[in-house]
Chain A
Amino acid sequence: MMSPSAGATMRACSSMNSRFGRWVVSLPPMLFLLLFFVAPSLIMVVASFRFPGEYGGLAPLVDQGQWQLTLETYRFFFSDFIYAEIFVKSFGVALATTLICILLAYPLAWLIARSPKRHQDVMVLLAVLPFASNFLIRVYAWMIILGPQAAVARAVNSLLGVFGFEPVTLLFSPFAVLVGMVYVHLPFMILPLYTNLAKHDPALLDAAQDLGANAWQRFWKVTWPLSLPGIYSGSVLVFIPVLGMFAIPDILGGTGDILIGNLIKEQFLGTRDWPFGATLSLMLTLVVLGLAGLAAWLARRGVRRHA
């Protein structure tokens, strides 16, 4: 039999151990984030207030004992309406992509969640299978699919011709950008939605039906509100990457289809105006953080209510 004080000591030791253990476990990811997220972010913040270098890059931070900082890039950003326009357009594309992803992913996720348990894993695997091939290859594949010589474009144009419309080009258009965006991000909507829908208690639908709800009412009054947390997390996973995406508009979009991502990339690699690139990317980060906070708040409220 242990004396009570010995027990207390051991408890104290084990609680110290577990606290120490928690530190040890969380240290590597914390260091990683500090080094590769917090530090670069701070560098970006500072960079947005600096002068551009003569041949690109950044001018020295301290010159002749003077701090070289300026608000010039911010003045520039707000002076021209075109940047706000590109922001709005990017948000439009991100919003449209998210909505289309919800529309496409919902029935699919529902189907997977309602399938027999032993089929579900295979179906989820199929949904994420595209990730097995390279992102750029998949996007380039769409260039071929949507190209003017491909069956899709010819079928669309011959159909338009029947009704007397002018032929259209599918590739290098906002439409192609949207198709690419939806295609690449769809699995990010399917997975959280499936996870959510699979958790629903089937007895709730029985109860709703028993209490007089038809199929439509069962969906809108029970399934839909309960799936909102899944929609929120899926939307975050789709909306935010789409907002910063530059590869897809580069490959599938026309010259006019510039989004924020392209604009930022252009500042760093094209015009080599690093401070302005940093400003743009900082603005994007702030907006995204704000939206993510809003989404997290919505989801948490949803989870609390739906727990």
Chain B
Amino acid sequence: MALLELRNLTRRFGDLAAVDNVSLSIESGEFVTLLGPSGCGKTTILRMIAGFDLPDAGEILLDGKNIADVPPEKRPLHTVFQSYALFPHMTVAENVAFPLRMARCDKPVIKTKVQEALESVHLWDRAHAYPHELSGGQKQRVALARSLVNRPRLLLLDEPLAALDAKLREEMQHELIDLQRDVGITFIFVTHAQDEALALSHRIAVMNQGRIEQFDEPSKIYGFPRNRFVADFIGNTSMMEVQVAEAAPTHLRLAVPGLGEIAAPPREGARAGRRGWFAVRPEQVRIGPAQDRELENHFCGKVRSFIYVGNVTTYTVELADGTPIEALLSNSAPGRARFFEVGDDVAVSWRHDAGVFLHE
């Protein structure tokens, strides 16, 4: 039985369905991320699971039991808030002891559990500090320790890394992964940052306008997006409008108006004549001098712009009909930051099994 099950969950604000008939099943011990742009309903779902908001329709089942009538303070789950929401008048240790004191644990039990929890986030030496004396990352870890100290069935995390700078965010990502593995508690993580979702999760639910577009493992979400929205939202993608010319079990032939034909990996439901989109990732696209014709799918174009980000350079190449294609070139050799200039004639190409055909 799933640990948490959302059945046809709906929440309306006026005419707007913030959460629209969402069903989701989460297993015990999983790290699941709700990913989507702001306003997609992910935080509303989190608040409904926590009990701060009630669904207009549908059910939330925890261990198979409907928890609609259980108030937030009685639900065996905790939330890590975006602002951390540490109690400013309590020390770190008092903050972490709070849920234990509410549960009326014995003093010695509280003491050992608080120490354990703070040691697990490497903050035992700051036990007597007040929250305003801590850095952002430390506050974050206190909030985690406080939420995990009485072993909830489920931990909800509402964009907990949003307030941290890039370096610290990466550090905390590693810590979150380790922590989740060590404590074995199910995490539901809400974020709009796709890199965070890909790095942390066992499974990702990509949300848009109150609905779940795709619920899958990170590599499936990235490699086999179900539709245009998912392909576009996760990572960079170049997209072309195509029509299926031939649908063989081993491959697809796609007609690109004005450019010719391309070969693509097979896709369920792709029949000859169907219109759709072909999406290819920048790292799948090779960029080379104009005469380079090694691969099956190749097009000529001009470099329109490039972005140098240190480890790689991303070129945007404009094809003959104006379609932009992004290609990624590694800068592994020092001193060779870029090979091409804006306006250069180049060829872009990709393997016949790269990219994906999208119906919608």
Contact = CB atoms under 8 A, between A and B. Distances in A.
Interface of A: 201, 203-204, 206-214, 217, 221-222, 225-226, 305-307
B73 A214 contact: yes
Contacts of B102: 211-213, 217
Nearest to A210: B79
Contact of A207 (B74, B79, B103): B79
Given A204-B87, A207-B85, A213-B73, 16 more contacts: A201-B83, A203-B83, A204-B88, A206-B52, A206-B72, A209-B72, A209-B73, A210-B50, A210-B72, A210-B79, A211-B146, A212-B102, A305-B130, A306-B89, A307-B88, A307-B132
A225 B85 CA distance: 15
B81 A306 contact: no
Closest 3 CB pairs of A and B: A212-B102, A207-B85, A211-B99
A72 to B, nearest CB: 51
A86 B73 CA distance: 51
Given A203-B85, A226-B88, A210 B73 contact: yes
Contacts of B74: 212
B78 interface: yes
A207 B88 CA distance: 12
Contacts of A222: 87
A306 B236 CA distance: 45
Which of B71, B74, B79, B103 has most A Cβ within 10 Å?
B79
B98 interface: yes
9 contacts: A204-B88, A206-B52, A209-B71, A210-B78, A210-B79, A211-B146, A212-B103, A221-B98, A226-B89
B81 A207 contact: yes
Contacts of B85: 201, 203-204, 206-207
Nearest to B99: A211
Contact of A208 (B98, B103, B132): B98
B89 A203 contact: no
Contact of A211 (B71, B83, B88, B98): B98
Contacts of B81: 203, 206-207
Contacts of B147: 211
A18 B150 CA distance: 55
B99 A305 contact: no
Nearest to A225: B89
Nearest to A205: B85
A204 B83 CA distance: 9
A209 B99 CA distance: 9
A87 to B, nearest CB: 35
B157 to A, nearest CB: 12
A226 B130 CA distance: 14
Max chain B C-beta neighbours (<10 A), residue from A209, A211, A213, A307: A211
Contacts of A207: 79, 81, 85-87
Contacts of A210: 50, 52, 72-73, 78-79
Interface in B121-171: 130, 132, 146-147, 150
Contacts of B52: 206, 209-210
Contacts of B73: 209-214
A207 B99 CA distance: 10
Nearest to A224: B89
A305 B86 CA distance: 13
Among B86, B89, B103, B132, the one with the most A-chain Cβ atoms within 10 Å of its Cβ is B89
A183 to B, nearest CB: 32
Interface in B82-102: 83, 85-89, 98-99, 102
- Of listed B50, B88, B130, B132, residue having the most chain A CB within 10 A: B88
Contacts of B78: 210-211
A226 B150 CA distance: 25
Contacts of A212: 73-74, 99, 102-103, 150
A8 B223 CA distance: 59
Contacts of A225: 89
A225 B98 CA distance: 14
A207 B72 CA distance: 10
A214 B50 CA distance: 15
A221 B98 CA distance: 9
Contacts of A221: 87, 98
Contacts of B87: 204, 207-208, 221-222
Nearest to A203: B85
Contacts of A306: 88-89
A221 B102 CA distance: 10
Q: Which of A207, A214, A222 has the most CB of B within 10 A?
A: A207
Contacts of A201: 83, 85
A305 B128 CA distance: 12
Nearest to B75: A210
Contacts of A208: 87, 98
